[in-house]
Amino acid sequence: MKSIYLKNRLFIFLGCIIVVFLISFAYPILYNVAMVALYILIGLIIIDLVILFIMRNKITAFRDINERLSLGDDQAITYTISNKSSINLNIEVVDELAAQFQHRSTIGDFEVDRDKTIETHFSITPVTRGIYSFGNLNLFISTRLLSLVELRHVIEQEQDVKVIPSIIQMKKYELQVFSKTARNSGIRRIRQIGENDEFEHIRSYSQGDNIKAINWKASSRLNTLMINQYQNTKSQNVYCIIDKGRAMKMPFNDLTLLDYAINSTLVISNIVLKKYDRVGLITFSDKIGSIVKAESVRNQLEKVSNRLYHQKTEFKESNLELLNITVRKKISRRSIVVMFTNFENQNDLKRNLPYLKSINKKHLLLVIFFINTELIETSEMHCKTRDEIYLKTFAQRALVEKEKIKMELNTNGIQAILTKPEDLSINVINKYLEIKAKRML
């Protein structure tokens, strides 16, 4: 009985019969009419239920979802609904989505003809990493002809799905960086300074080649001009350092700054490995978290991704002094150090500047911190009240403070990027390509 639900059409018919019963007090002849109508309605309900109980086992549904979802990206769940019965049915689909989505409404209400199969898609955007537990599929079935009652048909399809740092963004930016249309997607082509400096192979001379690269010994042996082919320096170390302190808990568009940093780290790690450099990872807050040594082995990206998956924001003050000591101990070779953090004021920077300068002395340090997009909108609003003027002034001062932090870092010889969270990956990729092209390491 718990699986039987009454539909609106049934209540309409019952309402009409009740009205006839009420009128029958004045016109007794209508009483028999109302009784006959009531018996007919009860009979139709029984027929409707019998049909549904017979046909429900011929209705199937399947949820198709990737075993791994990308954090912060729109993805689709595909539902396949089949009606193998001999009548046309209305089927309402209610999926027991993971609790993280906080979605309790119907996926869709469909008219499925007999011996037909339909597909429908439902868009989801996971905003936290972890295990998402999906429950059963609930189908509410009713006949299209009578549609007086509906029967709940539960299809067991419990499954757990892992939400990991964004693979979708990683592949998207990889395609953009190595495509000829990279400029259209925001990737800057930076003119390389100087000649390539790492020997690759000897090849035949072609018109237009640099004559300084002619290999005279090989040319004399083969009796034809041969030239040395050089390439960009490879196997440089790139370390991504992620701050997990309380400053990285700030949310933007449902994701925290830490989540943006994690997605961007996976993106830049993939690009670094494709450029034949070595990538490593360090996370920290008040203590050192994960450390992945910079390598370019086949499973290095998977190793970095697995470590990123388990990172959580700490509500403590970040210890850059401890980070400085760790970098000196763990990173012996001069490397590109990409540090994701967030400075809100100059006092915060001045307190940690000596440690940043110490890291930059041995390595090429790139500090990446974030600008609050809501402050930009507030600083550009039209003020009508005194409170709005105060609010706008505060926002402008906060933005100026961020620019001063960037200038202070640059003055001390530290590379810095001040970026909106949504532009993080593009800006980091462009800076890495610039460092490679200008041979800054």
The domain made up of 1-164 has a fold known as Immunoglobulin-like (2.60.40)
User: What is the per-residue pLDDT for 202?
Assistant: 82
Average pLDDT, rounded, for the chain? 89
Reference 264, options 318, 327, 334, 338; nearest CA is 338
The residue type at 347: N
Q: Return the bridge partners of 410, or none.
A: none
Residue 194 — very low, low, confident or very high, per pLDDT cuts 50/70/90? very low
pLDDT exceeds 60 at position 192? no
Q: So where are the chain's domains?
A: 1-164, 167-191+234-437, 203-231
Are 1-164 and 167-191+234-437 the same fold in CATH? no
Decide if pLDDT at 180 tops 70. Answer: no
- Tens of pLDDT, residue by residue over 344-356, are 889 999 999 999 9
> Structure pTM?
0.82
pLDDT in tens, 66-75: 999 999 999 9
Using a pLDDT cut of 70, give the percent of the chain over it: 94
C-alpha distances in Å from residue 63, one per residue of 70, 78, 93, 372: 18, 6, 11, 39
372 vs 185: which has the higher pLDDT: 372
Tens of pLDDT along 285-331? 999 999 999 998 889 999 999 999 999 887 888 999 999 999 999 99
222: pLDDT strictly greater than 90:
no
Exposed e or buried b per residue across 50-86, where buried means at least 16 C-beta atoms within 10 angstroms of its C-beta: ebbeebbeebebebebeeebbbbeebebebebbbebe
Structure tokens at 386: 């005194």
Alpha helices in 178-253 (DSSP H): 216-222
Of 435, 441, 439, 440, give the one whose Cα is nearest residue 230: 439
Cross-strand bridge partners of residue 379: none
Section 103-123 average pLDDT? 89
Please provide the CATH number assigned to the domain covering 167-191+234-437. 3.40.50.410
Cα 158 from Cα 194, distance rounded (Å): 59
